[in-house]
Amino acid sequence: MRKLEEVLNDWEAVIGLEVHAELTTLRTKMFCGCKLEFGAEPNTHTCPVCLGLPGALPVPNRAAIEGIVLAGLATNCDIEKHSMFYRKNYMYPDMAKNFQTTQGPVAFCMRGWLDLDVDGPAARERHGLDALEPGQAEGNVTRTEEGYTAHVGITRIHMEEDAGKMVHVGGGEGRIAGATHSLVDYNRAGTPLIELVTEPDLRTPEEARLFMQKLRQIYLALGISNCSMEEGSLRCDGNVSLRRRGSSALGVKTELKNMNSFKNLHDGLAYEICRQAEVLEEGGQIYQETRHWDPTAKRTIVMRVKETADDYRLFPEPDLAPYDLSDEFVEAVRAKLPELPDQKAARYATEHGLSAYDARHLVDHRATADFFDACMALAAAEGDGSRFAKPLANLIINDVTAYMNAHEGFDLAESPLTPERAMELVRLVASDAVSSKQAKEVFAAVLAEDKSPEAIVAERGMEQVSDTGAIEAVVDEVMAANPDKVEQYRGGKTGLLGFFVGQCMKAMRGQGNPKVINELLAAKLDA
Amino acid sequence: MAQQPFGAMSAAQIQAGLKAKEFSAAEVARGALDRIAVADEPVHSFLEVTEELALEAAARVDDALVAGTFDELGPLAGVPVGFKDNMNLVGTRTTCSSRMLADYASPYTATCVQRCLDAGALPMGKLNMDEFAFGSSTETSAFGPTRNPWDLGRVPGGSSGGSAAAVAAGLVPVTLGSDTGGSIRQPASFCGVVGIKPTYGLVSRYGVVAFGSSLDQVGPFSRTVADAALAMNAIAGRDPLDCTSQPNDVDFAAALDEGAQGMRVGIVPEFLEAPGLTPEVRERIEEVAAKLEAEGATLVDVHLPNAKAAMSAYYVLGPCEAFSNLARFDSVRYGYCDSGHKDLNAQYEASRATGFGEEARRRIMLGSYLLSAGVYERYYYPAQQVRTLITQDYARAFEQVDCILAPVSPRTAFEFGEIGDPTEMYLSDMFTISINIAGNGGMSVPVGIGRDTGLPIGAQLVAPAFQDRAMMRLAAAIERLYGEAPVAPGFADGKAGE
């Protein structure tokens, strides 16, 4: 199979996502009073309603309606004042009533959008950007300095109930194939679920990944879901088809499932695009089917062939009256909207003078944004304003994020790196008391030993030497020890400067101020 | 003291006797149980008799009588009550007269049943019905039909045939049934008892196995309008577990003595001219109208131009909702299971093919077809439009009248097997169905014996939405004209169907 980058030269991928989020932060289920709790003993949070027992009736959870309206407002959707629940009829044991209560043609939230900022190497996967100047737009894409912004339409967000969970026993790895029997846990049945459907506006796996990431940030900021892809409270299916560059007709799409991490979403789509290209290039045909991404085998496999569209016999749920949202309700929900990641990033740029890139990466995680806010509040209290915003942003985006990525479950808010210690570290660097290289060591020690940066610097005798006299002596020593290199440098091999800096640093056991060393060396070598 | 035929007494008489210490609640329960054991043999109205529950409830009533707190018990204190077998009651099976649920025991109790228990009722057992309430004769019960106490060769009507027959045979004074297209009013008419289908939303449906969720409504049977009012007082009102239920602050027993005077009573000429309406029923309804006019009511012709489409709309909407409501009976967690198949679909198919009877399968397949892509648009949507038009027809009619008087059924009770064609059977409900479509309250009140058939005839009264008290007031006036419903002659004076 060819590489994604090559494939995308010849083919345009058309991608749409369906994102399910469980409203895990609610106390109770969608249509009954059962408790929402992940990981409880199977079938302990059930009642006649969520077990679909004969005679049971649903009663809607108003807090769940508030949750979906929040999601809609945060994703620029129109809120439909008048909508209805429908029954989606299909037989499967995880759905005790054998119909799912969902919404019909009119969902609570319709016609929204999100803008995605794409930069880095993945930005090159979008074609036709070269012809655009920054600020210039074509289709749903606007060129930016670092890459581009893609405007992604959201068709709708509707409310529905989750199914129970099936566990297949006797086969391999819980698979249905080879299983001797199946168990059903209805604790999850009736969990309020919001399903967001995008327009087919995405063109690369990276865009899909970024969309999902951005949506997750928003849902987390709204506090409506814990958005755990691992526990399945945030799930994503992708629809993907290919068409020749320049063609506007849509190809046959496949639906991808089991992309339960950002990486799997990206890799699954990338694989599927390359697979479809290979089939098409060999004169084959794409079938409308559901495929399962197997991250271990790194390929997608057919789950189900859809010969005809499923007929779910959708009709209005007669046990639930049409839902009328009042203007007062919608406005009351709007008043509860927190600062959203995009708004936060914009504020970082205007208030603290950060670049759009830095601001965006700070808000990638709610934890890092909250941390940054706490640090800036300290700085303001001490009269430093935004002076340290940039170095602080660097510390968070580089060191803190790397640490978070390397340590699963790391909780920044509860860690030894308090905002006070972070600001102390930033100030030590700014005053040249420690080098940026030493700062990395101090950062690691703060987290490992739970001590303040100043204490670590004192203990380890790490104070940076910026004294010109001391450094000049070392510089002279190093030049004297390497007359041949001095000769070469003066003969034009100026790249040797790094060698001299390294030798000086080595002689000073890393405590020399690199800035002063650089200046003195340059002056003496160029003399 | 000699045992009294408690089931043949009215609820009001039983309560008076209890308060006067003429007998105890335990004697009432025991007497009714003994009577059921003997007299229900030929009728087959009960599918399950709850002796233990009845005696327990009676003990509580007797305790209250000793403690002097009887009046606090509620409107049905000490009254034997039976429940249609689509109503959940912990400690009983809820079979819906289906093989599918022959052994199904609900872990919770329906709100309407619980409210009867909370009102002091003595639960006597569960009553036969058409399977899942699909039928007008109780012949589709998987456990054999119920017989009409007035003529054991005839059907009691349906689907709440057991509920009507138990009252007509004097086994219990009050039962509950459910009505989706006429399932309370038509058997009440056939068996010569009072039967009320309240306005949709007046009584909670929680715990009553659903047939057509937007049409189903629970209501009482009794031999007197006053007893029906007691039952209505017990069961009506908002239930947080049924979000379609509405609050009620009406005392249904209060206005019964006000009489017909001053009431504007609507007559629907289209109904009285309907083909298939037998002369004895038509003439009796006209006679009732004339008598009410003589009592001081004003007769007003009202028109329901779209009511003729009610049958068509009903046989779209009903099966669609039934198809979906009955999907849960899949043999997996409970209910009839034909096991040993290679895959799940095969088990589904085999279990449902055997577990459901013919009429249930017919409605499920009809609903499945009507909801399928391409068909839905041609049937379901127009049916909903018809529903709106019929609802508007009734709303307009009730701008002119306080109550509508109409036939319940085009004819009196028919013989077993007499109607074999399902579509002909569906016509039994031609005068009742439009009221479920519109959601209004409707009831059947006995108006004597037909001159041609010698069988009971019922008059149907229809009320504006949530004005059910208006039809009950008129029903009480009619009851004074025609007399309280008697126990069927073959079951009077201790007889058991002779």
Domain boundary among B359, B383, B407: B383
Q: In chain A, what residues touch B376 (CB-CB under 8 Å)?
A: 313-315
**DSSP alpha helix (H) spans, A338-416:** 341-352, 356-362, 366-381, 389-394, 401-406
Domain that holds residue B314: 310-383
Count Cβ atoms below 10 Å from residue A285 Cβ, excluding itself. Answer: 7
Q: In chain B, what residues touch A91 (CB-CB under 8 Å)?
A: 327, 330, 345, 348
B239 and B373 co-located in one domain: no
Q: Is residue A419's pLDDT more than 80?
A: yes
Would B496 be classed as within a structural domain?
no
B275 and B186 co-located in one domain: yes
Q: Which of A59, A99, A319 sits opposite B327 (nearest CB)?
A: A99
In this prediction, residue B1 carries a pLDDT of 39
Domain boundary among B383, B411, B433: B383
Which position among B10, B97, B98, B159 bears the catalytic label?
B159
Closest chain A residue by Cα to residue B208: A55
Would B497 be classed as within a structural domain?
no
Size of interface A-B (CB pairs under 8 A): 95
In this prediction, residue B2 carries a pLDDT of 42
B77 and B146 co-located in one domain: yes
Would A182 be classed as within a structural domain?
yes
Give yes or no for B381 touching A (CB within 8 A).
no
Give yes or no for A115 touching B (CB within 8 A).
no
Of A459 and B401, which is predicted with more confidence? B401
Interface test with B, best of A29, A31, A50, A57 (most B CBs within 10 A): A57
B48 and B161 co-located in one domain: yes
B172 and B288 co-located in one domain: yes
B293 and B239 co-located in one domain: yes
The residues, any chain, with a CB within 8 Å of residue A120's CB and separated by 6 or more, are A146, A147
> What is the average pLDDT across A433-451?
89
A209 and A259 co-located in one domain: yes
B379 and B415 co-located in one domain: no
pLDDT (tens digit, 9 = 90+) per residue, A463-487?
Answer: 777 778 888 888 888 999 999 989 8
A435 and A476 co-located in one domain: no
Closest CA to A26 of A157, A159, A192, A163: A192
In this prediction, residue A516 carries a pLDDT of 84
Interface test with A, best of B241, B344, B372 (most A CBs within 10 A): B241
The residues, any chain, with a CB within 8 Å of residue B182's CB and separated by 6 or more, are B136, B197, B408, B409, B428, B429, B431, B432, B433, B436
Contact B241 A309 (CB under 8 A): no
Pairing of strands A192-198, A234-244: unpaired
**B35 near B80, Cβ under 8 Å?**
no
Which position among B24, B45, B84, B197 bears the catalytic label?
B84
Would A356 be classed as within a structural domain?
yes
In this prediction, residue A494 carries a pLDDT of 85
A428 and A372 co-located in one domain: yes
Would B1 be classed as within a structural domain?
no
**A152 near A178, Cβ under 8 Å?**
no
Q: Which of A119-123, A378-382, B159-163, B266-270 bottoms out in mean pLDDT, i.e. has the lowest?
A: A119-123
Would A217 be classed as within a structural domain?
yes
A255 and A136 co-located in one domain: yes
Question: Would residue B197 show up in a list of annotated catalytic residues for this protein?
Answer: no
A41 and A133 co-located in one domain: yes
pLDDT range class, residue A154, cuts 50, 70, 90: very high
With left for phi above 0 and alpha for psi between -120 and 50, is residue A404 left, alpha or beta?
A: alpha
Pairing of strands A254-257, A78-79: unpaired
**A423 near A439, Cβ under 8 Å?**
no
Which DSSP state fits A283?
T
Would B3 be classed as within a structural domain?
no
Nearest-CA distance A100 → chain B (Å):
10
Tokens representing A52? Answer: 């679909």
A199 and A51 co-located in one domain: yes
CA angle, residues B262, B404, B183, in degrees to nearest 5: 140
Give yes or no for B214 touching A (CB within 8 A).
yes
A371 and A507 co-located in one domain: no
Give the number of domains in chain B.
2
Give the number of domains in chain A.
3
Would A440 be classed as within a structural domain?
yes
Q: In chain B, what residues touch A55 (CB-CB under 8 Å)?
A: 86-88, 94, 106, 110, 205-210
A287 and A410 co-located in one domain: no
Q: Which of B207, B213, B328 sits opposite A52 (nearest CB)?
A: B328
B21 and B133 co-located in one domain: yes
Contact A318 B214 (CB under 8 A): yes
A345 and A313 co-located in one domain: no
Would B108 be classed as within a structural domain?
yes
Instruction: Label each residue of chain B as H, E or C.
Output: CCCCCHHHCCHHHHHHHHHCCCCCHHHHHHHHHHHHHHHHHHHCCEEEECHHHHHHHHHHHHHHHHHCCHHHCCCCCCCEEEEECCECCCCCECCCCCHHHCCCECCCCCHHHHHHHHCCCEEEEEECCCHHHCCCCCCCCCCCCCCECCECCECCCCCCHHHHHHHHCCCCCEEEEEECCCCCHHHHHHHCCEEEECCCCCECCCCECCCCCCCCEEEEEECCHHHHHHHHHHHECCECCECCCCCCCCCCCCCCCCCCCCCEEEECHHHHCCCCCCHHHHHHHHHHHHHHHHCCCEEEECCCCCHHHHHHHHHHHHHHHHHHHHHHCCCCCCCCCCCCCCCHHHHHHHHHHHHCCHHHHHHHHHHHHHCCCCCHHHHHHHHHHHHHHHHHHHHHHHHHCCEEEEECCCCCCCECCCCCCHHHHHHHHCCCHHHHHHCCEEEEEEEEECCCCCCEEEEEEEECCCCHHHHHHHHHHHHHHHCCCCCCHHHHHHCCCC
Would B6 be classed as within a structural domain?
no
Would A334 be classed as within a structural domain?
no
Give yes or no for A385 touching B (CB within 8 A).
no
In this prediction, residue A174 carries a pLDDT of 64
> What is the average pLDDT across A113-138?
90
Residues in A 6-65 with any Cβ partner in B closer than 8 A: 48, 51-60
B219 and B251 co-located in one domain: yes
Would A299 be classed as within a structural domain?
yes
Give yes or no for B243 touching A (CB within 8 A).
yes
Give yes or no for B375 touching A (CB within 8 A).
no
B198 and B344 co-located in one domain: no
Contact B328 A54 (CB under 8 A): yes
The CATH number for A486's domain is 1.10.10.410
Of B258 and A129, which is predicted with more confidence? B258
User: What's the gap between Cα A259 and its chain centre?
Assistant: 14
Domain that holds residue A413: 341-459
In this prediction, residue B167 carries a pLDDT of 98
Domain boundary among A329, A352, A385: A329
In this prediction, residue A133 carries a pLDDT of 92
Would B366 be classed as within a structural domain?
yes
B125 and B245 co-located in one domain: yes
Tokens representing A173? Answer: 């790895």
Q: Name the 3-class secondary structure at A381.
A: helix
Would B2 be classed as within a structural domain?
no
In this prediction, residue A307 carries a pLDDT of 61
Closest CA to B434 of B406, B403, B399: B406
Question: Would residue B183 show up in a list of annotated catalytic residues for this protein?
Answer: yes
B375 and B415 co-located in one domain: no
- Greatest distance between any 2 Cα atoms in chain A: 96
Domain boundary among A459, A490, A508: A459
Give yes or no for A281 touching B (CB within 8 A).
no
A140 and A271 co-located in one domain: yes
Q: Which of A188-197, A439-448, A514-523, B326-335 bottoms out in mean pLDDT, i.e. has the lowest?
A: A514-523
Question: Would residue B214 show up in a list of annotated catalytic residues for this protein?
Answer: no
Nearest-CA distance A252 → chain B (Å):
22
The CATH number for B238's domain is 3.90.1300.10
A211 and A128 co-located in one domain: yes
Residue numbers of chain B with a pLDDT score lower than 70: 1-4
Give yes or no for B307 touching A (CB within 8 A).
no
Count Cβ atoms below 10 Å from residue A46 Cβ, excluding itself. Answer: 20
Would A335 be classed as within a structural domain?
no
Contact A55 B106 (CB under 8 A): yes
Instruction: Label each residue of A135-190 as H, E or C.
Output: CCEECCEEECCCEEEEEEEEEEEEEEECCCEEEEECCHHHCCCCCCEEEEECCCCC
Would A336 be classed as within a structural domain?
no
Domain boundary among B333, B353, B383: B383
Can you give the pTM of this predicted structure? 0.88
In this prediction, residue A457 carries a pLDDT of 87
Domain boundary among A307, A329, A351: A329
A445 and A473 co-located in one domain: no
